[in-house]
Structure 1
Amino acid sequence: MSYAGSENLSRSTIFKVLMYFITCVAIIFILFINQVVVSSETFYHQQLKRDLVNEANLFTMMVSKGNSPALYRTIAERKKNNTTFSYVIRSAKHAVDDIGLYPTASFIFGPSKTTQLSQVVALPLGMELVIKINPQFMQAYRQTVIPMLLSGIAVPVILMLAGASLFAIVILKKLARVNHGMNRVILGEKGVKLPVSENDDEFDVLAIHLNFLIEQVEKKETSLKALSVGMAHDLRTPIARMKLRLERLLTQQTAPHTQELEACHDDLEVLLGMFNGMLEIANLNSGKQHIDKEWVDLSQVCRDVVEFLSPISDEKYQQLTFREDEQYRLQGEPSLLFRAVYNLVENAIKYTPEHGVINVVVDHFGIVVTDNGMGVSDEDKERIREPMFRADRSRTHQGFGLGLSLVEAVVIRHNGELVFSDNNPGLRSRLYLPLASEGDSNSGE
């Protein structure tokens, strides 16, 4: 499971919450920066206005002294050296309502406002001096300040986004370890332990609790299996004795209870078969049952099964066929393989209606058994191999749910795999078995 993928990151609740938080912080930060810009330009505007008034007072004082040559020299020098203000000498008779437009800040991403800011000084001979703020000076100020403020917004937001992504990835990585371990438990792996670091954080506490839970579940499962196997082992002997006693009674004159005794005998035989099946599955899964492997032709095994079960399928007017797509030989136990295929085909016959079709195929990968019966739901596909589980909730068919469990136990002992899928309609049962070369390496088992 990937924890750093864009899909998992976008689905992460932690990442979404961090994005909402960063968005709110960014909006508040932008509003704050905007207020700083407006306040700073307002303050600078007031400072310029004071400087403008002082500049006008200077020239007014020089006019009052009557030193016209010095006045005009000062104006010329100011025009040449002072970039803050502009100086215009004009005739008072042709004066118009001229205004000085000074740009002031509004919202930093919006258009700027302008405000009137100029001073007029009366000069001798009917002339006047107009002093205004130089607009290029203010534009240079804004072009210098605003990029700095924008970078002051962008850099923190980018850093917060990177930090949030890194934080979310670290959290998802820790959760991925937990989910990976739990997936292994769900798939039936034993002895799974979630990693616990030395940080002793909340994820380590969660891993410790889950490890304890997994350990307790495995202990309960082991105890339950041991109890079931023990009961089957202990009950098998008295049931066998009861069966023998009934058989002796049935050889004698038991009328008028012969029918009841025969029914009891049949029921005990069914129970004895169930207990024997449970013990055999347990022994196969635990490795206690020794397997003498030899070369087995799967096609011959399937032919024998089809020939053996053909009378049963004929009673339901079913079409039971065998096909060999490729010859397949492996090292195995013939009788166990026969019983595994037998159980699969018998199960297909049982759950396929009259006039149905059951196909048994041997190919390069092993054996396939298909039918066009009622099929199995996706929910039950993984459970039908469990002991005592039956997909037929109505219990209209006889059985104890041990057939497919035995099939899986046999396949696993032969290093294979049992897989169920839809046949549309019906069920497709696939026995993946090892190739001959793989079987050779295990022939001494």
Structure 2
Amino acid sequence: MPRPWKTTFGLTALVSLAFVLATLVIGLLAYALTHEAMEVQLDHRTATETSALLERAGAGGTPALAELIHQRDAGHSTASLGYILVDPQGRRLAGALDAQIPAKAGYFELLHYGKDGAIAQALITDLPDGSRLLVAADRTVIDEMDITILKLFSASFAAMLLLAVGGAWTVGAVTRSRLRRFDDAAQAIIGGDLTQRMPLDGSDNEFDGVAKSLNHMLDRNAALVENLRQVSSDVAHDLRTPLTRLNNRLDEALAFSGDKRTRAIEAAIAESHELLEVFSAILRISEIEAGTLKRDFQELALGDLVEDVVETYAPDFELSGHALHSTIHMGLRIRGDARLLSQLITNLLDNALRHTPAGTTVALNLTASEAFVILEVCDDGPGVPATERDRLFSRFTRTEASRTTDGHGLGLALVSAVAQIHGGCATVLDKPGFAVEVRLAR
């Protein structure tokens, strides 16, 4: 069942409604405070006028007070103020205000006066001789202020409500339009167009951020699919020969007898072991490229690890007539997998041993930049033609010069995969001999 409050329009409408309600509360609060302030002002005015009358009348008592009220009524010197002065028996002594004086002394909020039912705010004061004085201020100014505030508030509330509905609809429409473009791209990808990507509008907003992340994911998936296709093609192409040899060995074993059959079977077993090693290497590279091994990454001292591998290979280099020199900056630490990094270094050193003649000097350097740890393995051997360097990190790639040596062209492919899973890359440097630089994120 749809839940409108979980849609873009619904969420926007809820936020807008909250602003509308806030406007309503603020408006009512402003109205109440303003109304109360005006009433307090009128009370203060009646109290001030009462004090002024009593002070001026002074010792003259009620007759002097009545005279002052006559003067004020005659001269209209106090606009919107009205007066009533009555004796102890309730007979009017002065004051032209057409109203009945309340029985109770003090402030009286709603005093009706005149034939048209006007309302005043009054202060009734009991005098020492039993007389009573009423001073009233007309409430028309409060009523006019109330009407003005209500009109302004109604207009503001209507505008806010209109903006809320319009804003919710606009945000919902824009969001639906952008999501529809995402959905169209997704449907195209589902339909088989793997080149399709989420659209960007160049605004660098949240939608563009999500689109970039999705496109990065799609690029990664496309690369994995291409890898799978390439692996299938490479396996079909490069393993055809060893599989054919294995088949021939088995055919020979069937045809021979005695020692010849034994030797044929042993040769077939050797071929099968070689094929198993190739498949294991391919699976290892695919596992690394999938990125699932990142969950096992730990903080490790790369300098110590490199030093251990170099010490392990030193005897092999010495026996083969190669020279191995290393410059290792100790104390460099990264997050990674020690086994994968050991395999990376091993492959580079194996590559130097296998494809360079005796007397070659191999140098291993471990340094660092601000963002990367840099491992460089270079030699002064015959090197690789520049035209072949770009494809060296692809599976089953072997140069013409290396086809007479053992191997299947998977060593540098694994080096590249390990570098990438550690947030870096592997490149062949343009130097004399052969040099590989591996960058690993710090």
Q: TM-score, normalised by structure 1?
A: 0.42
Q: TM-score, normalised by structure 2?
A: 0.42
